[in-house]
Amino acid sequence: MNEILTCLLVVGLIGLIAGILLVLASHFMMVREDETVGRLRECLPGANCGACGFTGCDGYARALGEGKAEPNLCIPGGNETARQIGEILGLQVEAVEAKIAVVHCNGTCTASPARAQYDGMESCRAVAMLFGGPGACRYGCLGCGDCAAVCPTGAICMADGVARIDSRICIGCKKCVETCPKEIISLVPRSGKSVVLCSSRDPGAAARKACANACIGCRKCERSCPEGAVSVAGNLAVIDYARCSGCGLCAEGCPTGCLKAADFSLAGAV
Amino acid sequence: MDGFKNIIMIIMSSVLVNNYVLSRFLGICPFLGVSKKLNQAAGMGVAVIFVMLMATAVTWPIQIYVLDRAGLGYMQTIVFILVIAALVQFTEITLKKFLPALHKSLGVYLPLITTNCAVLGVTINNMTDGYGFFESMASSLGCGLGFMLAMVLFSGIRSKIQESEIPTPFRGLPVTLIAASFVSLAFFGFAGVVDHLFA
């Protein structure tokens, strides 16, 4: 009993002395922090997603305070955050282009049947290393959900063998884009009105054989677009969102339905 | 003269033979985490040397004059953790006030060291080896230098790795760990050198 008491006393005393010392030190040697950094930090959403390119919201706030960062880099915060930051720093802020991630694949279980049975670690990275995955299409979604695992907001779910991103929840942090071993996820502007849901670069016949929803590179969309925003390169349609007017003609004409009309501004996953 | 020789021997052996990172495998976390760039590795090394010396200077008297007197030698680990954590925080506050330039260069690394096992390992090993105060300080200096040497060497290797073409499955952490094991293997060549050098 006695020993326990001495033990408690000695350790407690050392802890107390250390604590008092720290309190005194922090009181007497306080350095006034730059207040703007604290205020900037409060405007940021605190998701620590790293989309701005800094180590987190704290890092971004510090960089803003030192004038080393643009005020419109916070993608989850969007225009509102950029405006608040601009007010604090007294800067004119260009509007943030809100972006969301889109999985460029629609190779569902029925559209693109597997050519082999995979029985191993449930991770896209592992699957991709084994002959590029068991699917008939070499380019498509592997469906193991690595992207869903890294998504900080839980916007991605796996449905019918393909990753689906809920555009209402997606904050455009780019984490899934970096994770996907097939590189089929990309960021598109929220104002975009159509998306290409395919990443296959196989020639038309081969792509079609592998997946009923594949882009076959028929160039119909390219011809139908009045703005010249859609182009087919390497057997795959690509939309230039800077030129897209959102008329939807390309989606109407698409024979396989890989080019779809979309509305990211409102509810509904693609 | 004998004492001086002893000190030199302690420093040499803790830098090369008993290198904390490469042969005792303590402090692997910062070794892998902060060794990507040379200047960061060197900064972390300096910070570790600094904290190791400070920690030893404080923990040695506490062990000898407080814990051993009260017969509480077995509370060593807990008390040392407590003291080192408080000490690092105190150092950070002091540096911030009086040496802002040094604080800025060490700033990121100091909190990381708070719970670094290499620092705790040095202070505890000094006690286990039964070193006196000056021997303990020499050993801490040696261990810190050894840590810095390992960090700087490894950052050089990592910059080489970054430029080379590596098979996909090995990219990132795997190849880093393999490289670390080779460096560690190389340091085993020093075993016995110091004993014969000062025999």
Closest CB to B70: pick one of A6, A21, A22: A6
Give me the mean pLDDT over the B2-27 stretch: 86
Residue B199 has a pLDDT of: 62
A21 CB within 8 Å of a chain B CB: yes
A-contacting residues in B 140-169 (Cβ below 8 Å): 168-169
Cα dihedral across residues A202, A207, A211, A216: positive or negative: positive
B-contacting residues in A 79-138 (Cβ below 8 Å): 129
B71 CB within 8 Å of a chain A CB: yes
Residue B48 has a pLDDT of: 87
Two tokens, residue A114 = 């597997």
Distance, C-alpha A90 to centroid of its chain: 30
Domain boundaries, chain B: 2-194
Residue among B75, B80, B112 with most chain A CBs within 10 A, to mutate: B75
> In degrees rounded to 5, what are phi and psi of residue A173?
-85, -10
Residue B108 has a pLDDT of: 65
Reported confidence tier of residue B31, pLDDT bands at 50, 70, 90: confident
Mean pLDDT (chain B, rounded): 85
How many contacts (CB atoms, under 8 Å) link A and B?
49
Ordered per-residue pLDDT tens for chain A, 270 residues: 688 888 888 889 989 999 998 898 888 877 666 677 778 888 888 777 777 778 778 888 888 887 778 777 887 777 788 888 888 887 776 666 778 889 999 888 888 888 888 888 888 888 888 888 888 888 889 888 899 999 888 889 988 889 999 888 888 888 899 889 988 999 888 888 888 999 988 888 888 888 888 899 888 888 888 888 888 888 888 888 888 888 888 888 888 888 888 877 654 444
Distance, C-alpha A40 to centroid of its chain: 23
A16 CB within 8 Å of a chain B CB: no
Q: From the CA of A49, how many Å to the nearest CA of chain B?
A: 20
A10 CB within 8 Å of a chain B CB: yes
Distance, C-alpha A243 to centroid of its chain: 23
Domain A35-89 of CATH type 1.10.15.40: yes
Contact: A14, B66; criterion CB under 8 Å? yes
A2 CB within 8 Å of a chain B CB: no
Phi-psi region at A166: left, alpha or beta (left = phi > 0; alpha = psi -120 to 50): beta
Q: Which residue has 């020499």 as its token pair?
A: B138
Identical topology for domains A35-89 and A99-261: no
| Neighbouring residues of B140: CB distance < 8 A, sequence distance ≥ 6 | B52, B53, B55, B56, B122, B123, B126
Residue A48 has a pLDDT of: 75
CA distance linking residue A55 with residue A73, whole number of Å: 13
Contacts of A30 in chain B (CB under 8 A): 97
pTM of the model as a whole:
0.57
Selection from A138, A252, A157 nearest residue A198 by Cα: A138
A157 CB within 8 Å of a chain B CB: no
Which pLDDT tens digit goes with each residue over B54-98? 999 999 999 999 888 888 888 889 999 999 988 888 888 887 777
Which pLDDT tens digit goes with each residue over A46-82? 777 777 778 778 888 888 887 778 777 887 777 788 8
Residue B137 pLDDT exceeds 90: yes
Residue B97 has a pLDDT of: 79
Other CB atoms within a 10 A radius of the CB of residue A219 amount to 12
How many helices and strands, by DSSP H and E, does chain A display? 10, 8
Helix (H) or strand (E) holding B50: helix B38-61
Contacts of B90 in chain A (CB under 8 A): 21-22, 25
Give me the mean pLDDT over the B33-45 stretch: 82
Two tokens, residue B148 = 């810095």
> Do residues B154 and B41 touch, judged by C-beta distance below 8 A?
yes
Domain boundaries, chain A: 35-89, 99-261
Q: Which fold has domain A99-261?
A: Alpha-Beta Plaits (3.30.70)
ipTM of the complex: 0.73
Contact: B94, A25; criterion CB under 8 Å? yes
Two tokens, residue A264 = 């990211």
Give the end-to-end CA distance of chain B in Å, rounded to a whole number: 15
